[in-house]
Each structure stands twice: as C-alpha cells, then as structure tokens.
Structure 1
Amino acid sequence: MGEYHHLCNESAELHEQTVMSYAFNIFVVTLSLLMICGNLLVIISVIYFKQLHTPTNYLILSLAVTDLLVGALVLPFSTILSMSSCWYSSYLLCKMRGLFDILLCASSILNLCCISIDRYYAVCHPLTYTTKINVRVTLAMIVVSWTLSALLAISITGRGISQNNLSQRCAIFIATKESSPGPIFEFYIPAIIILTIYLKILMVAKKQARRIQNTIKSKATFSKSNITLAIVLGVFLVCWTPFFLSVGLQSMGKFTIPVAVIEAFKWLGWSNSMLNPLVYAFFYRWFRQAFKMILSGKIFQGDFSNTTLL
C-alpha cells in the first residue's frame, strides 16, 4: 500500500488541484448538458415528425445518437478519472472510457461517410436516388457503421489490457507505435474517402449549376441541403484533425508535442458533438421549427406528427 501512495501521491494532488478541479468540472458538466440536450432535440425531431422520416435524416439521427453518447458517457467518465488520477483505483473505468471514446469517434466519421454516400447519389444520380438509397439501405449502412466501430474499439482497447503498469495514470490518449494503426482506420482512411466523395459532388454540382442557371429555386434547394451537410463534415474535420495529426506525429517519435496540447486537442474533438445540432438549427428551417415546437411543449398538447415544417 505504501508504494501505491508513493507512486500516485493522490492525496497531495487532490489538495493542490481542488480549485482547478471545480472549474474544470463545471465546464465539463455544462458541455455534457449542451451535447445531450442539443442532440436530444435532433433525435426527437426526426423520430416524431413524419416529414423528417427520410434516409438522409435517419443518418443524421444516427450521428446525433453518437454525439449524445459522447456527452452522456465519455465526458463524465473523463471527469471522474481526472478526480482519481491513480490507475489502480480506476483501471476498469479507464478502459471503459477508452472503449466508448474510440467507438463513438469511429461511429461519427463512419456515419459521415454514409451521409457523403447518400449525398453522392442524390446529386450525381438523382434519377436513381430513391431506388438505390431507401430506408432499408440506410438502416443497413447504420448497422455496418456501428458494427465496424465496435470491432475497432474492442480490438484497440483489448490489445493493451495486460500491458500497463498499475501505478500509471489513465492517459486521455495513447501515442505509441503499437497504437498508430488505430487512427489510420479510425480517422484518416474514412476522412480521405469522405473528402474524395465531396470533391466529386462539387464537380458534378458545378456542371448542374451551369445547366440550371435559369432555375433559381433548384439551385437554392440544392445549396441549402448539401452545403449544410458539407459544413457538418467541415466542422468535424476542424475539430478532430489537430488531435489525430498530433498523435500521429507523436507516435512516429519525430516530434515531441506537450501532453497538455494534445489533451486540449482531444477536448476540441469532443466538443464537436455539441456543434452539429447548432449547424442544423442555423441552416435547416424545418429543424428550427421542430426545435421550437419541442421546446415550447406544443407536441405534448396534441398530435402534431403530420405537421408540415416549413
């Protein structure tokens, strides 16, 4: 027991970090609540309003579930671990946090992959879109995304179960040569696929824009639907690229990046889960109206599921 206290020095750290811990916990609780409430609005909107029962919105629903779980699971676990820095006392919790973190991050980007595929067929093959991308296909894409994410999370988390010293802290990230394949499958490959698809969409959209220059309404409809989803992708890449890039450089051993900087990038990545509902509310009128009806309690006063959201 003496060695455990000497290595961890938990009592001294708790005394020194009390003020910082309170401020940090208030920040995390606020961020978690914003994530949960914002994404809950998206989930209720898609499930309740029949107008929103479309293949694209089911993919948005899956992404919102992912973002909600980040706020409900990953952030609270991270807060508890920050209060108890000793590996021995929080080993299982640390592994659970790592599992959910990898699962939900991978699920987010794979859901974005599915959304980009959906948009590709909508823009590049509009005549066959409804036959190729229907509810059954969308649900299959969601199941595959979550299954692949779960397999990746279990393989990465399980591989290091017996390799750690009990006196170590629970790291918010792992940057070793052994862990380097994780980010490649979790982030880089899906990101390259998504960017390639969106570049193809952009090229086709420009050709379409030239053909329908006189049809202003068609151009406006296209831009609102597809640009918004492109912004969701852009926000995701802005939030997560700094973390995966810094971990990649660190794992190669060619650059030494301060731990505090990488941890800050990790929190930036997690904050992405709060931003998506704001993007939907700002750019989609039907989501804005749905949010207003839910927040005002109107949906509890009668059956408004068939309401036309303008």
Structure 2
Amino acid sequence: MEFSYSDDSGNGSMGFDFSDDDNKDYFIEIVTLLIELIGVIGNSLVIFIILYYKKMHNVPNYLILSVAIGDLLVLMFSMPFTIMSLGFDNASGNEVGCKLTNFVLILSQGVSALSFTALSADRYFAINMAVAPMRDYAKRVTYFSIIVSWTTSICFALPVLWFSRVFQIPYTDQLFCSFQPQVKWQHATLVYQTCRFVFLYALPVIIISILYTLVAMELFRSIREMPTEATKATSKSTSSKNQAQARKRLAITVLVLAVMYTICWLPYMFKEVAVELFPTKINFKAGYKNVSFIMLYLSSCINPIALVAMSRNYRKYFLWLLFCGKVREKVKKPTSYTGMYNSVTTKPIVVNNCAETVLDEP
C-alpha cells in the first residue's frame, strides 16, 4: 500500500501514480479535498442524528453508526496525510502518518464490510423470519455484531500497522509509504492479502447477495398476497401494505449501501489480488491506480449521500441541521398500525420548535 508517488515497480502498492502526467496531481488534490469535506460533514451529521434523536435508536441505525464512525476515522486520520503527500513531496516521510494511514483504511474496510453483512442479516430476519428489530435479544445481537466487526477489522489492520514503512525510490529523493513486510515475512503476504480479500470482501458480498435474494423473494410473495388480505379487512390490509413498503424502503437502502461498498472497493481489491498472484505479468497503468484510489476514498463519503437520497428521516434531519431549523415539515395526524412483522407508530415530534413526522425505521 502506498500513499504517495509511486514508481512503476509498485504494482502491489496502493496509491496515486503521476508517472504519466505531473499535472494530474492538482485534479486529484481537488477531488480528495471535496471528498474530505463532504465526507466529514456527512458522516458527522449521521453520527449526531443517530446518537441525539431517540427515534433513530434502532438496530439498523446502530450498524449504520458503526460504519459512519469507521468512515470518519478514515477521513480524519488517513486522508489528511494523503492530501499532504500530494502537495508536499517529503510529507510521505512521516513514519507515524504512514502507519496510521494504512491501519485506519484497512480498519474502515473491515467495519464497513462486516456491518453491511450484519445489516443484510438484520433485514433478512426482520422480513423473512418476522423478528421485531427492537427486542432485547435483537439489540444484544447487534451489539455483539458491532464488537465482532471492530475486533476482526483491528486484527486485519494490525499487520499493516506493523509492517508499513517509508521507503526511498532509488536514485531519487522521493519518499513513499508502503506495506512491505521484511524478507522473512514476505511469504505470508499472499496469505494475508488472500484472507483479506475473502473475509473482508468476497465472503461478505456473497452472503449479502444470498440474503437479499431471499428477502426479494419474500417481498414479492407478500405483495402477491395483499389483494387477498384486502378482501378480508381493508384497514388491516392498508396497515400491512404501509408496513411492507417501509420494510422494502429500508431493505433497498441497505442494499444500495452494500452495492456502493462493493463497487468502490472492487478496483483496488482486484489490483491487490492480481499483483500478488501474478507479480511479473501484470502492470497497472497510472490512471487505473489513481481511479481505484479515489473510489476507495469515495466509499467513505458516499454513504451519507445515499441515506439522504433514500431515507425520509435522514433527509429531514439533514435538512433541518444544515439549514438551522428553517426547513419545516407539515405535521400529520398521529397514526398507529400493526404490520405483518412488528408494530410501527408514526407521530409528530417537535425539535427546537420544528415539527417533524418520524417513522421508527430509518
């Protein structure tokens, strides 16, 4: 992994490569600064909204909170070092920054992958198994999942923290940060990268795909059965339909977050595995390296954007906080209904004289 300029021999390293065009660093600096700004603001608001508003205290949001914290760590401790490396050639010579940057990035990858897997499992049990998400045992399982995801991610990130070092390109004054174990440990690099690819990328993607296939089948089955219910009890059918729609929206939101993680990390993971398997046959161009690196950081700022775009609750709170309470929502009459999976209540609340309608689902 590399977080500065790289020479052509650094196929297995992760970082920007400006060997083709020295002017590209200005464009990438601007892009990374925008990612930094949007990501810090977005993830900070997500964390604040989930912690501050009690209506956002539910199982899916706890897992989203875990992802947001991991992304914020990347934006606060990894990206600044990268941006400095772009502007100042000698910034990559900071050994502490080198180790911390690589450590936090791998930590965030693990937290995101495992949290999205847990989110998908939560949606599966809530929709297919009719498990109410706010029961005590469900919350305990969620807390356990968060602890496991962070512990596992730390274990995967520790080798990077230990073996990341600052190197100097031969015959130049250029320094770069890279994950390169000592000679006696180099045989374990392939094993490490393979395990990381399997457990922090491939396996979570496979599990998420299977769970969402089952969720989709259940949702389609529920939709087909609704007309029959309507002939028996119109009010019950309406509440069931509303509940199913809320479940569907949340399931789609979680799926979008997982898909974005998969897409953003795919170029980088492909490069890492390909270089380890075929070190002498593959030579990635500078453009591919730079795009893979930008997409990797983009994964840390894109989740808040997706939440605002797809979740009405997040959108309301985001607008309210960003515009200092000037965005007001029309107060609706409180309604309560029991859906096919658990009870959901919609009622108006007042936040600093600004009325909003909040659903128990994010």
What percentage of aligned pairs have identical amino acids?
Answer: 24
Query: Does residue 245 in structure 1 map to residue 259 in structure 2?
Result: no
Q: Give, as a single letter, the amino acid of the residue that structure 2 aligns with 1:39.
A: N
**Structure 1 CA distance for aligned equivalents of residues 219 and 132 of structure 2:** 17
Q: Deviations over 1:127-170 (max 9, x none)?
A: 46544753332222112111110111003442x357x7554743
Query: Does residue 193 in structure 1 map to residue 207 in structure 2?
Result: yes
RMSD, aligned CA: 3.2
**Structure 2 CA distance for aligned equivalents of residues 125 and 302 of structure 1:** 35
Q: Give, as a single letter, the amino acid of the residue that structure 2 aligns with 1:227.
A: I
Distance 1:286 1:133, change over 3 A: farther
**Structure 2 CA distance for aligned equivalents of residues 112 and 172 of structure 1:** 28
Alignment-derived partner of residue 170 in structure 1: 176
Using the TM superposition, name which of 97-106 and 124-133 deviates more.
124-133
Distance 1:83 1:127, change over 3 A: closer
Do the aligned residues in 2 keep the contact of 1:212 with 1:219 (CA within 8 Å)? no
Q: Give, as a single letter, the amino acid of the residue that structure 2 aligns with 1:286.
A: N
Do the aligned residues in 2 keep the contact of 1:91 with 1:170 (CA within 8 Å)? no
Query: Does residue 204 in structure 1 map to residue 218 in structure 2?
Result: yes
Do the aligned residues in 1 keep the contact of 2:264 with 2:299 (CA within 8 Å)? yes
Q: Give, as a single letter, the amino acid of the residue that structure 2 aligns with 1:281.
A: V
By how many angstroms is 1:87 displaced? 9.0
**Structure 1 CA distance for aligned equivalents of residues 192 and 168 of structure 2:** 19
TM-score by length of 2: 0.71
**Structure 2 CA distance for aligned equivalents of residues 132 and 120 of structure 1:** 18
Do the aligned residues in 1 keep the contact of 2:85 with 2:92 (CA within 8 Å)? no
Alignment-derived partner of residue 309 in structure 1: 358
Query: Does residue 267 in structure 1 map to residue 294 in structure 2?
Result: yes
By how many angstroms is 1:190 displaced? 2.0
**Structure 2 CA distance for aligned equivalents of residues 36 and 238 of structure 1:** 21
Alignment-derived partner of residue 69 in structure 1: 73
Q: Secondary structure at the match of 2:94?
A: helix
Query: Does residue 125 in structure 1 map to residue 119 in structure 2?
Result: no
Distance 1:304 1:273, change over 3 A: farther
Moved over 6 A (4+): 172-176
More strand by share: 2
Do the aligned residues in 2 keep the contact of 1:87 with 1:166 (CA within 8 Å)? no
Do the aligned residues in 1 keep the contact of 2:92 with 2:177 (CA within 8 Å)? no
Which of the numbers 288, 297, 304 marks the counterpart of 2:324? Answer: 297
By how many angstroms is 1:91 displaced? 3.0
**Structure 2 CA distance for aligned equivalents of residues 63 and 305 of structure 1:** 29
* Unaligned ranges ≥5, structure 2: 1-6, 8-17, 181-185, 231-236, 327-349
Do the aligned residues in 1 keep the contact of 2:102 with 2:164 (CA within 8 Å)? no
**Structure 2 CA distance for aligned equivalents of residues 94 and 31 of structure 1:** 20
Q: Give, as a single letter, the amino acid of the residue that structure 2 aligns with 1:285.
A: R
Alignment-derived partner of residue 104 in structure 1: 108
Q: Deviations over 1:51-96 (max 9, x none)?
A: 1111111111111112222221221111223345469823332222
Query: Does residue 53 in structure 1 map to residue 57 in structure 2?
Result: yes
TM-score by length of 1: 0.81
* Unaligned ranges ≥5, structure 1: 1-6, 8-12
Aligned length: 293
Distance 1:286 1:129, change over 3 A: closer
More helix by share: 1
Q: Deviations over 1:246-299 (max 9, x none)?
A: 322222115332244123212112102221111111111111111122123339
Do the aligned residues in 1 keep the contact of 2:81 with 2:91 (CA within 8 Å)? no
1:200-239 aligned at under 5 Å gives the runs 200-213=214-227, 214=230, 215=237, 216-239=241-264
